[in-house]
Structure 1
Amino acid sequence: MLCLVAVGSLTKTASADPLYPTPDPDAFFTAPADLEARAPGDVVRTRKIDSGPYVGTTGWQIAFRSTNSAGHPIMAATTVLLPNGVRNPPLVSYQALINSLGSKCNPSRSMFNGELQDAVGAMLPVSRGWAISLPDYLGPTVAYGAAKLSGMVTLDSVRAVQRATELGLADSKVAIAGYSGGGMASAWAGALQPTYAPELKLAAVVAGGIPADLEQMALSLGFEPHPGFGLAFAAAMGLEREYPERLPISAQLNEAGRWFREFTHDECRRFLLFHGAFRSAEQLAASKSLMDSPEARAVLRENSLRYFDGVPTAPMYMWQGVYDTLTFFEPVKEVADHYCRAGVPLTFAPYEIAEHMTTAVAGFPDAWNYVEARFRGDPVTTHC
């Protein structure tokens, strides 16, 4: 869900500029001066880490060069867990639930500070003897909602993991997986791979609960108080961070909106949901002319899989709740139909479920079995 206001001809002030997260103080995440000279996916630095609660694993972090939505180089990072005692494991790039605005919410931090909501689910690949990489796919500004960005960072994270010689995964089979915001990143990675990273060979892409039409989600939110408004507001702030010239949302906030922006700009999913519950765009915006801006709608469409012409070439598994009121079924079904007409080897699994996270629990067992079948080299079938 997104809360967007019209872009007016307002004079920019300091309070109208995007409010970025507090930079991570760890120098490991700092971009080098020569970042622009490096290619997407090039390793900047690596380090071995204490894998903490993830028993039976060896942990690594990799900083690498990626690309933002404007085509500029950015620094990104991923955290890798290798299963102890397993030689040449296949690799799963797991795009975890971030849905946040602070750097402390990225998997490189949230895996160890209690903020990662799907930490248990993320360990399921390791229990099957697979290596797992959890990228900070929202980039250095934690641009929540920037779907195209998340797809590129995901692909570059796979490149970086394969190029990091210390890990020994250069020849591993690779799958990409995620749900909800992580499903959006995974699905975009699959769709972008043929053009952005054509040299990558993906054994599978699995994605569920995909926010496939951000424009529709924004329009559906309306002006009334909503239980999920905190995430909607965060997505608007995240998109402004990624598109500051095209989407100057802060210029349209009233005093309460500017306070809420400051209050939440470094925070994670649970904080955003709790403190944003039953707030509304009408309370925080200086104008009711939401979604009147053609430029705002253009940004939303550019980050909506429904309107992206590119199609995956890797085998793909998608699942979606038919009655999901958070990420709508219709645009995902439209994407699936588009892929099927284009000849994508797709399995699409609708679930007669309304609650968003219940669909994740219901769908992941079959999704992981699909990945395992691809790692075994079983024949790929299509079920549209």
Structure 2
Amino acid sequence: MLAAAALGLISTAAPGAAAPLYPEPDPDPFYSAPADIAELAPGEVIAVRAMPPLPAFPETAVTVVRFRSTGSEGAPIAATTTVLTPRGHRPDGPLLSYQHIINGLGAECAVSRVLYTADPELTVREAPALNIALARGWSVALPDHLGPNFAYGAARLGGTITLDGIRAVRQVGELGLAGAPVTMAGYSGGGMATAWAAALAPRYAPELAIAGAAIGGVPMNLVAMMEQLGFAAHPVFGLALAAGLGLEREYPERFPLSEQLNERGLAVRAVMANSCTNGIIAAAAGRGVMDFARTTSMIGNPEARAVVEENSLELYDGVPSTPIYEWHSPIDGLIPVDAIVRTNQRWCAAGAAVQAELTPVPDHLTAAVLGVPGAFAWLEGRFRGDPAPSNC
């Protein structure tokens, strides 16, 4: 994703009248936050719902778990993860937390929703990989890692929700996961949530013994992405703008993006407010910062820039204590590859076990598909308890 390019819209100009635009509330009361959420511990279960079976995942039970997590600025929030339990799962058998790519700003973009719509984003693109895991007897948790405000671009948030989702599903007795070995995986935006979870775990969830994390195509530095995009028009500029709108939702005081949008920008924002991938891309395809901004400054608002830095994993001083499998294309038009290399090197220097692999294709999306077999073979080794390889 092109998170943080919209920082170019932030300036020190006089504020406008536009406040952050949040998604429409989910009409299902299951997704609301309880009044006593502040009294719950991170990862504590709020509600559990058994769901109908899905044709895309044969002989698999589906359970949605609602739990307490933590927002980017420390407030308690309610979050959701969907657990797929194959018929062959044994009590305390393996659990894979799989962070799906969620390019969206509305409730209908949540994995727990997409699974039950005609939208092929998850069922077509991700089902083959997930069925490999299910066929091995692994349970799979699919967190809605953008949070209740669908804060696309708020990368760090995805890490805390992922960790709290693991905490939560291990508490649900009927899932048989209380003593399960756990791994994590994800690509692109899902890889970013996974990588943040791995890096945050030693401080945020030190009690979780995570056996390994497989991450692919991760946007490690959102500031670098901003600088790479600049003011140029781009076919998927909508993702950059959506990331800025998501960050504003999560940091309304520190990242006042909407104040800097012109009339055209506000109109596109309204179209995007509850859209998923295709709608977001179509709304601003081939556009750039100059099409939607009243004023522009990359450095005019240091507080807004700090928000982007706080969501850039390369700049976070924490280091994963779990082994890492990392893969990416050597030529990626969407994300800065140098930031991945530098992050791997820093983690290695700090003593982390990192197995970094290049997928020899010249684009972001093909690398996602071709990297899955190696990633899943590596995850299998972590579940077996094999020593983790490292090419640091």
Normalised to the residue count of structure 2, the TM-score between the two structures is 0.95
**Do structure 1's residue 178 and structure 2's residue 217 form an aligned pair?**
no
TM-aligned CA distance change 1:100 to 1:40, over 3 Å: same
Contact 2:16-2:260 at 8 Å conserved across structures: no
Residue 50 (str. 1) matches residue 52 (str. 2) = yes
Is 2:221 the partner of 1:213? yes
TM-superposed deviation, 1:9: 5.2
Alignment of 1:252-267 (within 5 A): 252-267=260-275
Identify unmatched segments of 5+ residues in structure 2.
none
- Per the alignment, residue 199 of structure 1 pairs with 207
8 Å Cα contact 1:105-1:116 kept in structure 2: no
Counterpart of 1:370, as a letter, is W
Deviates more, 1:152-161 or 1:351-360: 351-360
Match of 1:103 in 2: 107
Is the partner of 1:98 in helix, strand or coil?
A: coil
Tell me if 1:245 matches 2:250: no
Match of 1:324 among 328, 332, 335: 332
Question: Amino acid of the residue matched to residue 221 of structure 2?
Answer: D
List structure 1 runs of 4+ shifted beyond 6 angstroms. Answer: none
Q: Secondary structure at the match of 1:116?
A: helix
Q: Residue in 2 aligned with 1:79? A: 82
Identical-residue share of aligned pairs (%):
46
The answer to whether 1:312 aligns with 2:330 is no
Summarize the alignment of residues 269-288 of structure 1 with structure 2, pairs less than 5 Å apart: 269-288=277-296
State the partner residue of 1:352: 360
Shift of 1:270: 1.6
- Which AA in structure 2 matches 1:106? A
Q: Name 2:350's counterpart in structure 1.
A: 342
Number of matched residues? 382
Residue 135 (structure 2) aligns with:
127
Residue matched to 2:69: 66
- Structure 1 partner of 2:121: 116
Decide whether the 8 Å contact of 2:188 with 2:219 is kept in 1.
yes
Contact 1:111–1:119 (8 Å) recurs in 2: no
Q: Is the CA contact (8 Å cut-off) linking 1:93 and 1:133 kept in structure 2?
A: yes
1:68, CA displacement in angstroms? 0.6
Quote the residue 1:3 is aligned against.
6
- Checking the alignment, whether the CA contact within 8 Å between 2:15 and 2:260 is kept in structure 1 is no
- CA contact 1:75–1:140 (8 Å) conserved in 2: yes
Residue in 2 that maps onto 1:26:
28
Work out the CA distance in 2 between the residues paired with 1:290 and 1:268: 27
Mapped to 2, the partners of 1:115 and 1:74 lie a distance apart of 28
**1:112 counterpart SS class:** coil
* One-letter amino acid matched to 1:92: L
> Structure 1: how far apart are the matches of 2:120 and 2:267?
24
Question: Which amino acid is 2:126 matched to?
Answer: A
Gaps of 5+ in 1: none
CA distance in 2, matches of 1:288, 1:69: 26
Give the AA of the match of 2:189: G
Cα offsets for 1:29-56 (capped at 9, x unmatched): 1100000000000000101111322211
SS in structure 1 at match of 2:380: helix
1:133 counterpart SS class: strand
Secondary structure of the residue aligned to 1:166 is helix
Partner of residue 140 from structure 1, selected from 121, 137, 148? 148
Query: Matches of 2:131 and 2:75 in 1, distance apart?
Result: 33
Q: Which amino acid aligns with 1:17?
A: A
Confirm or deny: 8 A CA contact 1:115 1:268 kept in the other structure: no
1:6–1:249 Cα contact (<8 Å) kept:
yes
Compared with structure 1, are the counterparts of its residues 12 and 38 closer, same or farther at alpha carbon in structure 2 (3 Å cutoff)? farther
- Across the aligned residues of Structure 1 and Structure 2, the Cα RMSD in angstroms comes to 1.3
Q: Letter of the 1:45 partner, please give it.
A: A
1:232 matched to 2:243? The reply is no
